[in-house]
Amino acid sequence: TQLLEQSPQFLSIQEGENLTVYCNSSSVFSSLQWYRQEPGEGPVLLVTVVTGGEVKKLKRLTFQFGDARKDSSLHITAAQPGDTGLYLCAGRNRDDKIIFGKGTRLHILP
Amino acid sequence: DAGITQSPRHKVTETGTPVTLRCHQTENHRYMYWYRQDPGHGLRLIHYSYGVKDTDKGEVSDGYSVSRSKTEDFLLTLESATSSQTSVYFCAIRMTGAGGYTFGSGTRLTVV
C-alpha cells in the first residue's frame, strides 16, 4: 500500500514565524498536489508540482518537489492567521490514482 | 470555478435505512470521485467514475454503491446505513492535465 506521511500532524505557531511541513513517501509520484482545507469546506487545490526538484511559489508559500519525486515540502514565510487550516498533500501514482496524506493541521496565533 | 455541488449538506439517518448523496457538476468533467474523511484516516476513496455508466471501486467501497447515468451527476448510495458510515463525504472532479481535484463542500452524514 502506498502511503504519504505528513509531518508534523499538528503545528501551532505565532503570527510572523516561518514554518515548513513535509510530505514523504517511499513511492515515486508523477505529480504531487497540495491542498488547504478550512472547517466545513472541501479541500482547495493550492499547487501541483510535476518535475523532480521543481519549486513553485504562491505569495508567501513555497512548494518543492523532491528530486526523486518521492517527497515534497511546503514552506510558509511570515505566517498569518489566514494561513490556519488543514494542509493535505496528494500524489498521483503510476496507476493514475491520487493518494492523500492525512494532513498537517496548522494554527497561527495572532 | 468548476461548479460542483453536493446535496444534502447535512443528513441524520437511522441505522439500516438507505441513503443517497448527490454530486452535480456543470462542466462536463469525465472523472468524478467519492471520498470519505474521518479523523485519523484522512481522505479515503470510496468509488470513482470515468464516464457515464463507467464506475470502479476504491479502497473503502464495502456498503456503498454508485451510479452515473448522466455526465453531470454522480450518486453515492449507502445501501443500509451503519454507524461506521458516519462521516463527511466529499465529491471531487478531476481537472485536465496534471492538475488535481476540485472538491465539493461536503455532506456531513450522521447515522444514529
Best residue of A23, A38, A45 to probe chain B, by most B CBs closer than 10 Å: A45
* Residue environment code for A7-32, b if the CB has 16+ CB neighbours within 10 A, otherwise e: eeeebeeeeeeebebbbbbeeebebb
* Cβ-defined contact of B43 to A100 (cutoff 8 Å): yes
C-alpha cell at A30: 508523477
Give the tens place of pLDDT for each residue, B7-51: 999 999 999 999 999 999 998 899 999 999 998 888 999 999 999
On the CB side of B50, CA atoms within 13 Å amount to 5
* Cβ-defined contact of B103 to A43 (cutoff 8 Å): yes
**Closest partner CB to B42 (pick from A30, A44, A102):** A102
Phi and psi at residue A81, in whole multiples of 5°? -55, -30
Give the chain B residue nearest A93 (alpha carbons): B98
* Residue environment code for B55-82, b if the CB has 16+ CB neighbours within 10 A, otherwise e: beebebbeebbbbbeeebebbbebeebe
| C-alpha distances in Å from residue B14, one per residue of B39, B81, B83, B85 | 22, 7, 9, 11
Chain A residues closer than 8 Å to B107 by CB = none
* Cβ-defined contact of B101 to A101 (cutoff 8 Å): no
* Contact yes or no for B47/B58 (Cβ under 8 A): yes
How close is the nearest chain B Cα to the Cα of A50, in Å?
A: 7
Residue A93 has pLDDT above 90, yes or no: no
Instruction: Return the percentage of chain A with pLDDT > 90, whole number.
Output: 90
Helix, strand, or coil (residue A47): strand
Residue A1 has pLDDT above 90, yes or no: no
What's the pLDDT score for residue B11?
Answer: 97
